[in-house]
Amino acid sequence: MNGVLHWLAHRRVPLGFLCAVIAYTFAQPTWRSIAIGCLVALPGELFRVWAAGHIDKGREVTRSGPYRLVRHPLYLGSVVLGLGFIVAARSAVSGVVVALYLAVTLIASIRTEEAGLERKFGGEYAAYREGRAAPVDRPFRLERVWANREHRAMAGFVLAMGLLAMRGLF
């Protein structure tokens, strides 16, 4: 089972493109659904930016910013982005495809990453996971946002909504 989780976690992006093609095929967006979907998705992207501005991936157990509130704020933001896409697409089939994609790949990613963090940081990660680790007061940095390539998620968000808008026209 660990091999399957690892495979899913490391193929999350290409699987996302495949699911996007399927979701777009069944999408029936309207200008109203796209506007509402954007309003739903925007807080998810903003949460991701906040998280990306605090994390130094693979170097530490991050306990500042949104990591004080949830263990996986980047993934939580992705779920909110996905919900925005579902609203914008206005299709039950698209919604099921996106929801299944998020559920399967994010669970696989979370389990894989947590196992890696446990191996690398041991007791420090266990304390964080169990809520026993003290939060760290570290400022948000735009350099971290860029280093964590959050601009790609932003571009993906804009592209997804733009493609839905084009689909709505035709």
39-52 pLDDT, tens per residue?
Answer: 999 999 999 999 99
Both tokens of 28, joined, read 């029936």
pLDDT, mean over the chain: 94
Q: Is the pLDDT of residue 62 over 80?
A: yes
Tell me which amino acid residue 63 is. Answer: R
Count of domains observed in the chain: 1
Q: pLDDT tens across 125-158, in order? A: 999 999 898 888 899 999 999 999 999 999 999 9
Tell me what the mean pLDDT of segment 23-31 comes to. Answer: 96
What pLDDT is attached to residue 2? 80
To the question of pTM greater than 0.85 for the whole model, the response is: yes
Burial environment of residue 132 by CB neighbours within 10 A (0 to 12, 13 to 18, 19 or more): exposed
What pLDDT is attached to residue 122? 84
What pLDDT is attached to residue 57? 87
Q: How sure is the predictor about 3, in pLDDT bands with cuts at 50, 70 and 90?
A: confident
Tell me what the mean pLDDT of segment 9-38 comes to. Answer: 95
Q: How sure is the predictor about 16, in pLDDT bands with cuts at 50, 70 and 90?
A: very high
Domain that holds residue 35: 2-169
Task: Find where tokens 């903003």 sit.
Answer: 46
Tell me the chain's radius of gyration from C-alpha atoms: 17
Q: How sure is the predictor about 1, in pLDDT bands with cuts at 50, 70 and 90?
A: low
